[in-house]
């Protein structure tokens, strides 16, 4: 009888462990969305629809990233990890100067990037 009880307890623990791994405590942005990897901020091709295109620029590291040859309207998607402080900013100047637009966590928009020269990923 003890052997059966120990086996049942071991099975219950194993089932709970597998369930915890399968469901996890992962944040929604840990997963790719719209072709943008979890933890990244992505820029899509000019004039493309975010729902059926692949990002042309993918940024993972915090801080300023200078842009080049980004003209017209592009979707920009903030798929970073963390809290609401994990924002992305579009800036008129290089190296994160003169930021004019903030994109919140898990948000995207279609932005006119012709005057934009850098994007900043802010740490949560």
In order, the DSSP letters of 10-49 are HHHHHHHHHHHHHH-S--GGGS-BTTBPTTEEEEPPTT--
pLDDT surpasses 70 at 114: yes
Higher pLDDT, 25 or 74: 74
Extract the tokens encoding 25.
């405590």
> Average of pLDDT values for 35-60?
96
| pLDDT-based confidence at residue 3 (cuts at 50, 70, 90) | low
């Amino acid at each position: 009888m003890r052997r059966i009880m120990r086996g049942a307890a071991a099975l219950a623990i194993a089932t709970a462990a597998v369930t915890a791994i399968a469901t996890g405590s992962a944040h929604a942005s840990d997963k790719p969305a719209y072709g943008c990897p979890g933890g990244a901020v992505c820029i899509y091709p000019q004039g493309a629809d975010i729902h059926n295109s692949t990002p042309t620029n993918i940024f993972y590291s915090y801080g300023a990233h200078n842009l080049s040859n980004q003209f017209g309207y592009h979707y920009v998607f903030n798929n970073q990890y963390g809290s609401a402080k994990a924002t992305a900013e579009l800036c008129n100047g290089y190296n994160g100067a003169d930021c004019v637009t903030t994109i919140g966590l898990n948000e995207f928009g279609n932005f006119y990037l012709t005057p934009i020269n850098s994007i900043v990923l802010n740490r949560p």
